[in-house]
Amino acid sequence: MPASSVDASAFPAPAAQPLVDRPPRPAATLVVVRDGSSGGVEVLLSRRAERGDHNSGAWVFPGGIVEAADADAHVACEGLSDSEASLRLGLDEGGLDYYIAAVRECFEESGLLFADGLPTLEGGAGLDPESAIRLAPWRGRLHRGEATLTALCDAEGVRLAVGQLVYLSHWLTPLGRPKRFDTRFFIARVPHGQTAIHDGAELVEQMWVAPAAALAQSARLKLLTPTQKTLEILARFADVESLLAWAVAPRTVPLVMPRVAGGSGGFRPVMPEEPAWAELGRIDAAGHGHASYEIVPGRAVHLSPRVVRVTAGNGNAMTGPGTNTYLVGSGKPGGDWAVIDPGPADDAHVDAIVAAAPGPITRIFVTHTHNDHSPATTALKARTGAHVLGLAPLHREWQDTTFAADTTLRGGERLVLGDATHLRVIHTPGHAANHLCYLLEEERTLFTGDHVMQMSTVVINPPDGDMTAYITSLRSLLALDLDWLAPGHGFLMPEPRAAMEKVIAHRLKREATVVAAMRKVGPVAATELLPVVYADVPLHLHPMAMRSLTAHLLKLRADGAATDAAGLWALAGD
């Protein structure tokens, strides 16, 4: 997520001292929407007063903490029971408290009361003026704790319309923040005939604004991450009806907890969809903020006591942030270390590998011999005297011609790296015929080379690359008990099985696109298929895509599903 759309002042550099655990406080937020006069969704945003904390001056939705007295208002609710509310929120009990808190905070801060039975003008055009006057003082009394919603409902003869609120999202403040909140977000259409009026104390300004317009002003407005992400959701819908129809439809509401890290954009929240998020949780579990959301060439990153990563400075469209070199050992003082994938022939990178090694480097493992993974083997062996293990290339194109293994690996070997540390070798042809993956058994971590990449799919380049072999290798890895993938490019990847199933599904979907294109146009040259099958790929990457398209066509031919004659491809039987 780009940092430019989030106010960086909300995430100052974390304190250097160890952080104590801060249990989050339950909270609720209500996103109030309406149809704009010129069409489209509008949302109510209010600016918080300056109070010296990271929320100061932020444009937010109405919300606040769940108070003990909110539980007493169950008897005043309409349209939702505590058991139903708890089921929706995934709680054993007390779910209705969050709905009540959202209603209360919205009334205190914005003057909008979600309640049934409020007296209205003739024809229902708005609140009866006398009722509006009577209700106004309750806002301050509720805020100061001098009254409860139950007392308000009894006095006015109304019921809280919690059934109008739709559960939208679930946010948890990052670890290490001074104040932490476990916040449930709800969404609802503005109550008919009511006018939002900010309280002038906690909220000092308000506006109804189209979500896209608010996002476009993010350089001026201070939008905290949950606010920004919610606005991005709202901006997808043309009107409130379609927005609420999506919100009420059956769906999983995941818990979203950003993690704070540093980088070129300063300290900021890192979202779960960002590449670094899972790794940050592993190497900075307490939320100290010392880790980075960027991969920096030459920087040693300690992923565990057994694993260190150093990335080469060869980042480009094909290698992403650069090629990863991993140092793997027992983690015991004075123990030997092995290197997986020395990377490109780059003296600065070799220097960084040697400097990062916690002990002597005695072995060098290579996943495959493409020019961004193995050429530094020669220089690293000369520096360390390490023993080289791998598999020689079976084809010439794109290969490191300097590679020479002292020991040839073919898959199935189980090697001891030190006390209680074992590396298992797995032959995974597909991206390259000599491709190997390495499983660190004690950490259930698979070093994948280019077999699985984090931010893109790999190129399959025949004849060294083979689509059938690639998918078969992926499926064979699904049987492994894995916790992490350590790719040749990018950050550590969680949920290995899901990641590999996603790659398989992507390849089969692309294959289906190839079949559909051939069915539509009949015998056709591969060059004519390319812009159709890879319409979603930028033009400058089409030469690489052509290699994978060829691999798909060869697989279809091997499967008996396609034929080629005189350079024209067609479905078998056409």
CATH number (domain holding residue 405): 3.60.15.10
Write down the H helix ranges in 77-126. Answer: 82-89, 95-110
Tell me, yes or no, whether 515 lies in a domain: yes
Tell me, yes or no, whether 277 lies in a domain: no
**Domain end: 258, 278, 308, which one?**
258
Amino acid code (one letter) for 342: P
- Which segments within 512-567 are labelled E, that is strand? 562-565
Residues 352 and 391 in one domain: yes
Tell me, yes or no, whether 500 lies in a domain: no
CB 49 within 8 A of CB 201: yes
CATH number of the domain residue 532 falls in: 1.10.10.10
Residue 201's pLDDT is 85
Residue 122's pLDDT is 56
Is it the case that residue 10 has pLDDT exceeding 50? no
Quote the tokens at residue 243.
């927005």
Residues 489 and 521 in one domain: no
Residues 342 and 392 in one domain: yes
Is it the case that residue 7 has pLDDT exceeding 50? no
> What is the arithmetic mean of pLDDT over 346-354?
98
User: What are the pLDDT digits (tens) for 223-243?
Assistant: 999 999 999 999 999 999 999
**Domain end: 258, 283, 306, which one?**
258
Q: How far apart are CA 527 and CA 186, in angstroms?
A: 51
Q: How far apart are CA 357 and CA 367, in angstroms?
A: 19
Tell me, yes or no, whether 502 lies in a domain: no
Q: How far apart are CA 251 and CA 448, in angstroms?
A: 33
Residue 521's pLDDT is 87
Residue 123's pLDDT is 56
pLDDT band at 326 (very low <50, low <70, confident <90, very high): very high
Residues 473 and 409 in one domain: yes
Q: Phi and psi at residue 322, in whole multiples of 5°?
A: 130, 170
Residues 322 and 452 in one domain: yes
Q: Are strands 337-340 and 361-365 parallel, antiparallel or unpaired?
A: parallel
Tell the residue number behind the tokens 């793997």, with chain if given: 328
Q: How far apart are CA 54 and CA 60, in angstroms?
A: 12
Instruction: Report the Cα–Cα distance between both ends of the chain, in Å, rounded.
Output: 47
Residues 400 and 332 in one domain: yes
pTM for the structure as a whole? 0.86
What is the percentage of the chain residues whose pLDDT exceeds 90? 81
User: What are the pLDDT digits (tens) for 96-113?
Assistant: 999 999 999 999 999 999
Q: Phi and psi at residue 374, in whole multiples of 5°?
A: -120, -15
Residues 246 and 368 in one domain: no
CATH number of the domain residue 203 falls in: 3.90.79.10
Quote the tokens at residue 511.
């294959």
Write down the H helix ranges in 425-525. Answer: 467-477, 496-521
Tell me, yes or no, whether 404 lies in a domain: yes
Is it the case that residue 119 has pLDDT exceeding 90? no
Residue 56's pLDDT is 83
**Domain end: 494, 528, 555, which one?**
494
Residues 515 and 483 in one domain: no
Residues 220 and 303 in one domain: no
Residue 6's pLDDT is 41
Residue 75's pLDDT is 96
Residues 210 and 145 in one domain: yes
pLDDT band at 21 (very low <50, low <70, confident <90, very high): low
User: Whats the size of the chain, residue-wise?
Assistant: 574
Q: Is the peptide bond before 258 cis (omega within 30 degrees of 0)?
A: no
> What is the arithmetic mean of pLDDT over 401-406?
96
CA dist 71 to 67, 75, 92, 102, 188, Å? 8, 9, 14, 12, 21
Residues 238 and 343 in one domain: no
Structural domains of the chain, count: 3
User: What are the pLDDT digits (tens) for 411-466?
Assistant: 999 999 988 899 999 999 999 999 999 999 999 999 999 999 987 889 999 999 99
CA of residue 182 relative to chain centroid, distance: 19
Instruction: From 270, 187, 269, select the one nearest 230 (Cα to Cα).
Output: 187
CB 40 within 8 A of CB 238: yes
Strand partners, 297: none
Taking residue 468's Cβ as centre, other Cβ atoms within 10 Å add up to 16
Q: How far apart are CA 451 and CA 429, in angstroms?
A: 8
Tell me, yes or no, whether 166 lies in a domain: yes
pLDDT band at 17 (very low <50, low <70, confident <90, very high): very low
Residue 51's pLDDT is 75
Instruction: From 357, 404, 360, 353, select the one nearest 378 (Cα to Cα).
Output: 404
Residue 179's pLDDT is 85
Residue 20's pLDDT is 53
pLDDT band at 279 (very low <50, low <70, confident <90, very high): very high
User: What are the pLDDT digits (tens) for 521-562?
Assistant: 889 999 999 999 999 999 999 999 999 999 999 999 999 999
**Could you list the residue range(s) of the whole structural domain that residue 539 is in?**
509-571
Residues 215 and 354 in one domain: no
CB 275 within 8 A of CB 65: no
Tell me, yes or no, whether 269 lies in a domain: no
Residue 14's pLDDT is 52
Is it the case that residue 63 has pLDDT exceeding 90? yes
User: How confident is the prediction for the chain on average, in pLDDT?
Assistant: 92
What letter does residue 305 receive in the DSSP assignment? T
What letter does residue 385 receive in the DSSP assignment? -
Q: How far apart are CA 85 and CA 305, in angstroms?
A: 44
Q: How far apart are CA 185 and CA 181, in angstroms?
A: 12
What letter does residue 164 receive in the DSSP assignment? G
Tell me, yes or no, whether 290 lies in a domain: no
Instruction: From 248, 90, 95, select the one nearest 168 (Cα to Cα).
Output: 248
Residues with Cβ within 8 Å of residue 515, at least 6 apart in sequence = 556, 561, 562, 571
